[in-house]
Structure 1
Amino acid sequence: MSATRADPAESMMLTVFLRHDQSQNLEQLQSRLDDAGWWQHFPPAGCEVVSWVVAMGVGQIVTLRLPAALLAAVNVELERRAWGVFHTDFYPTYDFVPVRERLARESGERRSA
């Protein structure tokens, strides 16, 4: 994990759904993650964790900010370390908060005009 924030103009965001393999219990999953070095190697260096949450009944949802050049490295680490524990889905994402704030402001201006 990078301690410095990536330049938004030079980076992308990626949301990864790590869906639990429900054929295994928690102890089995943790053992496989430990054996794979998951906690030591994911995400790869140069990636910033924007959020990492658990969605009960689904699994973990991780949003990373990374230079686009590291996309393949993220994929390889997931293949090496997460397969067999998680089923993975990937979604390019972006921060909608500033857009929402602008749209709300513009809507208010239109309504008051």
Structure 2
Amino acid sequence: MKTLLKPLLASVLLFSTLVAGGLHAQASTSGKPVAISADNAVLLTVFLKHDQSRNLNEIRTKLTEQELFKVFPPEGVEIVSWTIAMGIGHVIVLRFPASRLREVNLAIERSAW
């Protein structure tokens, strides 16, 4: 079954971390999302690879059907930039607390992958 999912999400690249100890930021003990701050924020660049067999409208329709725009980005995740680059596809830069990396990854996997 040929879908947009496999070629769409090519890779996730950790662009820059601002956390001194890596991705081991402490989660909130109350279970509430941790706010973005200088000592726990990461920038993540996500590439949604261009699918040459479809035009931009077809790709957008497929992403809408998969409800990407309802679940991505999760609440509390900041979109720094969202660029559609010719020959590359969607290039999305996100900023969020390091402890929320799993949540961001799941949002992409469940809706764009």
* Alignment TM-score, normalising by the size of structure 2: 0.62
Structure 1 gap segments, 5+ residues each: 84-113
Q: What CA deviation, in whole Å up to 9, does each residue of 1:41-94 have, x standing for no partner?
A: 1111111111111211111111111111111111111111112xxxxxxxxxxx
How many Å apart are 1:31 and its aligned residue? 2.0
Out of 19, 38, 60, the residue aligned to residue 30 of structure 1 is 60
Cα gap change, 1:51/1:27 in structure 2, threshold over 3 Å: closer, same or farther?
closer
Q: Within 1, Cα distance between the matches of 2:91 and 2:57?
A: 20
What fraction of aligned residue pairs are identical, expressed as a percent? Answer: 44
- Counterpart residue number, 2:40: 10
- Counterpart residue number, 2:92: 62
Q: Within 2, Cα distance between the matches of 1:43 and 1:80?
A: 12
Higher relative contact order (CA 8 A, sep 6+): 1
Q: Alignment RMSD, CA only?
A: 1.6
How many Å apart are 1:26 and its aligned residue? 2.9
What count of residue pairs does the alignment treat as equivalent? 79
